[in-house]
């Protein structure tokens, strides 16, 4: 059973989300929060698998709440909700450690599948969306000078190459074709890269690569 906490400042939205998720026999909504601070508190106490987090809430917003949940080392993964595609707040939440974002206009089935995907440890940001995110916010991602991070030294040459490919937003299949590797091998390399860099998903890996000066 996947346990979920819903965080949204609009009660009707929480009710609607609860009804959608209630129709799935493998998802259990164990808490609801109306503010970001309440979401953090519930995440600490209930330790859900997934927190479905609204971005714009009074007081502690979804970005700050996401950052606090991730910084606390909680097992909960965050799926942020946004009204606008490529909303700068949604992007900030990804930087803060969210495992993906979804539009509030998405189909109910897509929300359910996104929660299942995140609970498995994957991200819900599709490769093509990653490209759009990186293109849209390129100026924010490029620091004045590359960030020196000792974790880079843990990577093999092949793993660095995989990391550079992740920064382009390519899928595993596309990386496999580009580097003449099997898709299974690429998947294994991606897992090792994320583990060595202590990152949660490929979107964070893409951001890391650009900030470290390993990719344009």
> pLDDT band for position 120 (50/70/90)?
confident
197 by Cβ neighbours in 10 Å (0-12 / 13-18 / 19+) ranks as buried
- Greater confidence, 216 or 176? 176
Give Cα separations from 178 to 161, 165, 181, 182 (angstroms).
11, 9, 8, 10
| CATH class of this structure's domain 138-211 | mainly alpha
**What is residue 140's predicted lDDT score, i.e. its pLDDT?**
59
Mean pLDDT of the region 8-28: 93
Mean pLDDT of the region 131-158: 71
On the question of pLDDT at 100 being above 90, the answer is no
What pTM was computed for the model?
A: 0.69
Mean pLDDT of the region 133-155: 69
Mean pLDDT of the region 106-116: 90
On the question of pLDDT at 66 being above 80, the answer is yes
Hey, is 52 helix, strand or coil? strand
Write out the H or E segment, with its range, that includes residue 28.
Answer: strand 27-33
> pLDDT band for position 147 (50/70/90)?
low
Hey, is 111 helix, strand or coil? helix
**Domain 2-124: which CATH number of 3.90.1150.10, 3.40.50.2300, 3.30.1490.100, 3.40.50.10320:** 3.40.50.2300
Measured in whole angstroms, the distance separating CA 14 from the mean position of its chain's CA atoms is 21
| Segments making up each domain of the chain, as ranges | 2-124, 138-211
For residues 211 and 216, what is the distance between their CA atoms, to the nearest angstrom? 9
214 bridge partner residues: none
**What is residue 130's predicted lDDT score, i.e. its pLDDT?**
61
């Amino acid at each position: 059973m996947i346990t979920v906490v819903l965080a949204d400042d609009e009660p009707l939205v929480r009710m609607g989300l609860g009804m959608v998720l209630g129709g799935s026999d493998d998802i259990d909504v164990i808490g609801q929060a109306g503010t970001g601070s309440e979401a953090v508190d519930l995440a600490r106490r209930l330790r859900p698998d997934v927190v479905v987090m609204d971005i714009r809430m009074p007081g502690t917003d979804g970005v700050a709440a996401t950052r606090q949940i991730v910084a606390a080392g909680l097992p909960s993964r965050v799926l942020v909700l946004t009204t606008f595609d490529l909303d700068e707040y949604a992007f900030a939440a990804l930087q803060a450690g969210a495992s993906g974002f979804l539009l509030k206009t998405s189909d109910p089935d897509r929300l359910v599948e996104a929660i299942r995907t995140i609970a498995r440890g994957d991200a819900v940001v599709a490769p093509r969306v990653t490209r759009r995110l990186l293109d849209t916010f390129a100026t924010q991602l490029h620091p004045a000078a590359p960030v020196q991070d000792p974790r880079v030294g843990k990577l093999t040459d092949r793993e660095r190459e995989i990391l550079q490919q992740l920064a382009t937003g390519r899928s595993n299949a596309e990386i496999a074709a580009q580097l003449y590797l099997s898709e299974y091998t690429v998947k294994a390399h991606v897992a090792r890269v994320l583990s060595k860099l202590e990152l949660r998903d490929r979107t964070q890996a893409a951001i890391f690569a650009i900030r470290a000066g390993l990719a344009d």
